[in-house]
Chain A
Amino acid sequence: MAVITASRAHRGPNRLRRRIGDNLRAYLFLAAGLASFALFSWYPLVKGVILSFQQDNLVVPPYWVGLDNFRALFADPLFFTAWRNTLEFTGLALVFGYAVPFVVAIVINEFRHLKGYFRIAVYLPVMLPPIVSVLLWQYFYDPGSGLFNSVLGALHLPTSDWTQSPRMAMISLVLVSTWSNMGGATIMYLAGLSTIPSELYEAAELDGASVWQRVRYVTLPQMRFVLLALLLLQIVATMQVFIEPYQLTGTTNEETITVMVLIYRYAFTVNNDFGLAAAMSVLLFVVLAAFSAVYLRLTRNAD
């Protein structure tokens, strides 16, 4: 900030040169980060867009095919299946993954004791490598001798085929994803909750507000911004779901194939067509970029 203030003080004919001179150190500090971004983020991004208009097998020079890849996408019935499934996953993930961490955060926040313990307990699954979480749940879901059906059976409750049942497959994936990712959201909610001035609750309590009324009239309005930010972040994250369907139901399951799984299929296991995969990636990019733009717009206003 000091650098910017200093540059504003110098206004004159050599303004630009001075500004660069004054900011040189800042640019140097930025250089490493910018270079990393350029190499690992922007270059692949631009390359991906170019690839989506090309036929490329990675050996002979790629050649331009115009919109052929996009036409092929729209002709593939799986294209629509994958988008429908992805939206279904995102929707379900919002129902579970968005509301559950909020409730958990409020409950943990209400604890007088052991708050630290619960915070860690909720966050632990985030620290597991995602594939480990998924393999663990694969065992839970085993319709034969899995944990869930064993427990349900012992309690004389109806069991389920979980990932193998067309009706339950998607919900099963969402449950895994929620369990493994809710820690991050919970911690952010908890941080948000801790910034709410305690006077507001005290005043509400003096007015005789019930627990529900305190949540409804104090917590929710105060958390508005965090809730909105997490909503958009979660949409962007869940639309890129890959590892749960890939490991639990595979790349050919019509009930759970998602956009990312289809991209993987196009590129690696079925079509070996990198241009087609890149075209699908570009479409996903456009959708996610739209959500990100909304997010940036909203957060800018909030600043």
Chain B
Amino acid sequence: MNRAKLGKALGLALAVGMTTATAACGGGQESEPVAGGPVTITVNGLPAATDEFNRAHFEADVKAFEAKYPNIKIDAKEGLMDPQTFSAKLAGGQLEDVFYVYLTDAQNLIAKRQVSDVSAQLADFPVTKDYKPGLMKVFSDDTGKIYGLPDENYSLGLIYNRKLYQQAGLDVNKPPATWAEVREHAKKISALGKDIVGYGDYSKSNTGGWHFTAELYSIGGDVAVKEGDTWKAAFNNDKGRQVLQQLKDMRFTDNTMGKRQLLEYDDLIKLMATDKLGLYVGSTGDMSNIVNQFKGTFADYGLGPIPDGQGTLGGGSGYMFKAGLSPEKIKAGLTWLTFKKNPDRIGPDNEKAAAKGLPVGLPEPNVWTGASEQKLLDATKKYANLPSENFAPFAAATAAIPLKLEPPNAQQVYAALDPVMQKVLTDPNADIGRLLTDAEKQVNQILSSVK
């Protein structure tokens, strides 16, 4: 009997207790600025102690910065932007003065007036004029006022396996530029047999909805659009049907996507790393994961632009300034950010990274244009330990492809779109029209809560 009680209690503890698993909360009180004295600003982005190389790098930066600018003290905090705690820290006034944000959140913070306008101080930092205009737009409002600076960016392209391309008799330096070509290449790669999958895609635990969004963007579609003050689903149309029909045809007519579906993030990385997959939609970060997790080499993989190139799902991060900051603090913050992220540093930083055996030579992140971009490209070329030519098709096309951010409430939207991808990839009789209509209803409900 006691065992039963124990079992029951443990079972319930599991059921109820799992929801009470708590995340540590950040904090930190703001120090009052002393008139005429040195300015102290709190910043986040300090890497965790377990990330030795980057932590040491960051701490050395703080030391060098404080030596160069004796009037500014940096109080660095760990952590970037935790979606679960961010809005609470914001509401509770616990955010750092200069804080990390994902590009997807910048516009919302500006609209809600939760960040400081830094336009007036920005004139003193001419290097900031070289940021890509598209990225600066993310940190600006309609009247051109600027509230933050970009830090890193990524965008989705097409990762392909150069070994399989060679075996299939395809040109290893010419990844497909259109979805029609993807279909043709996938056929040739699948024809190699041995369970080799031509083209792979996701359909499990939100990843399917994410890639549906990316593929919709690539042909000029949208998942959600803003009409007046409200967001509406925008995928139940010809473009939505086109994306799904192509996947369905590749899966069941061409048989180039393999029988195994319900794949998630790690599955395609594994297939690519073990030379069982020809092509899939991914970014430079995914390439690094393929190489790092499976001890592969970058030389075996190539990166092309997203097919059709009407737009690409991307993202990235930047830093913004807490609302109500004094001009001195804003100036100190901008001094810090332009010290930390400066085209003149890319060379020495790359040298250090290359000496440490870290990959140098990927085409992204790249937030610069003009002379600064040239500095980045030169420094990358000089210290590259990767075969940059493998990523040239991506690098060459990417400037012309508009970057599109994730929809609002992205994870909920992706969760609602996931079953659509599942059905299309597992059921030869899937009714695409009905799937889209059902998903549209759900997504509209999710978007109705966006303010």
CB of B310 within 8 A of chain A?
no
Question: Please, which residues of chain B bring their CB within 8 A of the CB of A267?
Answer: 18-19
Give Cα A285–Cα B419 distance, bound, in whole angstroms. 28
Contact with B along A269-283 (1 / 0, CB 8 A): 111101001100110
Q: Does A296 contact B (CB under 8 A)?
A: yes
Q: How far is the CB of B26 from chain A (nearest CB, A)?
A: 8
A140 contacts chain B at the CB level, 8 A cutoff? no
Q: Is the CB of B123 closer than 8 A to any CB of chain A?
A: no
Of the candidates B92, B205, B262, B264, which one forms a contact with A164 in the assembled complex, judged by CB atoms under 8 Å apart? B262
Residues in A lying within 8 Å of B, measured CB to CB: 37, 40-42, 44-45, 47-49, 51, 57-60, 142-145, 161, 163-166, 229, 233, 236-237, 240, 248-254, 260, 263-265, 267, 269-272, 274, 277-278, 281-282, 284-285, 288-289, 292, 295-296, 299-300, 303
Q: Is there an interface contact between B18 and A252, defined as CB atoms closer than 8 Å?
A: no
CA distance A17 to B170 in the complex (A): 90
- Within the complex, the shortest CB–CB distance from A66 to chain B, in Å, comes to 18
0 or 1 for each of B162-176: is its CB under 8 Å from A? (1 = yes): 000000000000000
Stretch at the interface among B7-15, B140-148, B295-303, B391-399: B7-15
Interface residue tally of chain B, by bracket? 35 or more
With a cutoff of 8 Å between Cβ atoms, the chain A residues found around residue B85 in the complex are 57-59
CB pair B1–A164 under 8 Å, yes or no, is no
Other-chain contact of A288, B11, B23, B412, B415 (Cβ < 8 Å):
B11
Asked if B1 contacts A45 (CB within 8 A), the reply is no
Q: How many contacts between A and B, using CB within 8 angstroms?
A: 151
Whether the pair A41, B1 counts as a contact (CB closer than 8 A) is no
In the complex, are the beta carbons of B16 and A165 less than 8 A apart? no
Chain A residues lying within 8 Å of B422, measured Cβ to Cβ, are 252-253
Residue among A45, A59, A143, A252 making CB contact with B12, cutoff 8 Å: A45
Q: Are B4 and A284 in contact (CB under 8 A)?
A: no
Min distance, Cβ A232 to any Cβ of chain B, angstroms: 8
Which residues of B in the span 32-74 have a Cβ within 8 Å of any Cβ on A? Answer: none
B198 to chain A, nearest CB (A): 13
How far apart are B213's CB and chain A's nearest CB, in angstroms? 14
Are A145 and B195 neighbours in the complex by a CB distance under 8 Å?
Answer: yes
What B residues does A164 contact at CB under 8 A? 260-262, 426
Most chain B CB within 10 A, of A60, A277, A296, A303, is at A60
Q: Decide if A237 touches B427 in the complex (CB within 8 Å).
A: no
| Structural contact, A272 and B17, CB atoms closer than 8 A | no
Q: Determine the residue in chain B with the shortest Cβ distance to A57.
A: B88
Q: Which residues of chain A come closer than 8 Å to B315, judged between CB atoms?
A: none
Chain B residues lying within 8 Å of A236, measured Cβ to Cβ, are 7-8, 11
- 14 A-B residue pairs with CB within 8 Å: A42-B9, A45-B12, A48-B17, A58-B25, A144-B260, A145-B195, A164-B260, A237-B11, A249-B262, A250-B264, A252-B419, A285-B15, A289-B12, A292-B4
**Is B206 located at the chain interface by the 8 A CB criterion?**
yes
Say yes or no: A253 contacts B419, CB within 8 Å: yes
Q: Which residues of B contact A248 (CB under 8 A)?
A: 262
Query: Within residues 402 to 432 of chain B, which ones have a CB less than 8 A from any CB in chain A?
Result: 411-412, 415, 418-419, 422, 426-427
**Residues of A contacting B9 with CB < 8 Å?**
37, 41-42, 45
Nearest to B24 among chain A residues (CB) is: A58
The answer on a CB contact under 8 Å between A47 and B205 is no
| A contact face: mostly helix, strand, loop, or mixed | helix
10 tightest A-B CB contacts, nearest first: A48-B16, A59-B88, A252-B418, A250-B204, A44-B17, A144-B259, A250-B205, A277-B19, A143-B259, A292-B8
Q: A292 to B3, alpha carbons, bound, how many Å?
A: 12
| Chain B residues positioned under 8 Å from A296 (CB to CB) | 1, 4-5
Q: Tell me, rounded to whole Å, the shortest Cβ–Cβ distance linking A254 to chain B.
A: 5
Assess the A51–B88 pair: CB atoms within 8 A.
Answer: no
B-side residues, CB < 8 A to A, are 1, 4-5, 7-20, 22-23, 25-26, 83-85, 87-89, 91-92, 94, 195, 204-206, 208-209, 258-262, 264, 411-412, 415, 418-419, 422, 426-427
* A181 vs B377: C-alpha distance when bound (angstroms): 58
Does A59 lie within 8 Å of B19, measured CB to CB? no
Whether A49 lies near B25 (C-beta < 8 A) is no
Q: Select one of B22, B88, B264, B426 contacting A161, CB under 8 A.
A: B426
B4 is contacted by which of A57, A161, A233 (Cβ under 8 Å)? Answer: A233
Knowing A45-B16, A59-B25, A236-B7, the reply to whether A165 touches B87 (Cβ < 8 A) is no
User: CB distance B426 to A269 under 8 Å?
Assistant: no
Q: Give the docked Cα–Cα distance between A163 and B425 (Å).
A: 13
CB-CB nearest in chain A for B9: A41
B20 near A47 (CB under 8 angstroms)?
Answer: yes
Most A C-beta atoms less than 10 A away, residue of B16, B206, B419? B16
Find out whether the CB atom of A41 lies under 8 angstroms from the CB atom of B13.
yes
Contact partner of B15 among A161, A260, A274, CB < 8 A?
Answer: A260
With beta carbons under 8 angstroms apart, the residue of B1, B20, B83, B205 that contacts A51 is: B20
Q: Are B412 and A271 in contact (CB under 8 A)?
A: yes
- Chain A positions within 8 Å of B18 at CB level: 263-264, 267, 281
Across-interface contacts of B87 in A (CB, < 8 A) = 57
Whether the Cβ atoms of A251 and B19 lie closer than 8 Å is no
Least CB separation from B16: chain A residue? A48
Given A47-B16, A253-B262, A270-B412, 13 additional A-B pairs, CB 8 A: A48-B20, A59-B92, A145-B195, A161-B259, A164-B262, A229-B4, A240-B11, A240-B14, A250-B204, A252-B204, A252-B208, A267-B19, A288-B12
Q: Is the CB of A274 within 8 A of B8?
A: no
Q: Is the CB of B411 within 8 A of A270?
A: yes
* Contact across chains for B258 and A144 when beta carbons are under 8 A apart: yes
CB contacts (< 8 Å) of B11 on chain A: these are 236-237, 240, 288
Say which residue of A42, A44, A165, A278 sits within 8 Å of B426 (CB atoms): A165
For A57, A229, A254, the residue with the greatest tally of chain B CB atoms inside 10 Å of its CB is A57
B415 contacts A274, C-beta separation under 8 Å: no
Within 8 Å CB of A41, what residues of B?
9-10, 12-13
> In whole Å, how far is A192's beta carbon from the nearest beta carbon of chain B?
15
Q: How far is the CA of A166 from the CA of B262 in the complex (A)?
A: 12
In the assembled complex, which residues on chain B have CB atoms less than 8 Å from the CB atom of A142?
259-260
> How far, in whole Å, are A27 and B1 apart by their CA atoms in the complex?
20
Cβ contact within 8 Å between B4 and A295: yes
B191: min CB distance to chain A, Å = 16
Given contacts A47-B20, A237-B11, A285-B16, contact A269 B4 (CB under 8 A): no
Contacting B1 at CB < 8 Å: which of A49, A251, A303?
A303
A202 CA to B14 CA, complexed, in Å: 47
Most buried by A among B15, B204, B262: B15
A44–B20 contact, CB under 8 A?
A: yes
Contacts known (A60-B88, A288-B8); A40 close to B259, Cβ less than 8 A: no
Smallest CB separation, B197 vs chain A (Å): 9
